[in-house]
Amino acid sequence: MLKNKSYKKHWEEKRANYESVGVSETLGNLIITEDGLDGSFDSELIESKILTWIKNS
């Protein structure tokens, strides 16, 4: 959905709000996933991100 300008703008505002209170993927306290262009998602990538987060917590 990031190709939708309105959605992308809203997401960028949300991300900035998260970062302003110390929540970010870089800090390891936020997991961000993206849908494929066809609406699909990569469950293996999501699982990998979750396992990495658990391991580092």
Q: Which residues does 56 contact at the CB level (< 8 Å), separation at least 6? A: 28
Break the chain into its structural domains and give their ranges. Answer: 5-56
Q: Is the pTM of this model over 0.75?
A: no
Average pLDDT over residues 26-32: 89
Residue 48 banded pLDDT, cuts 50, 70, 90? very high
SS (H, E, C) 23-34: CCCCCCCCCCCC
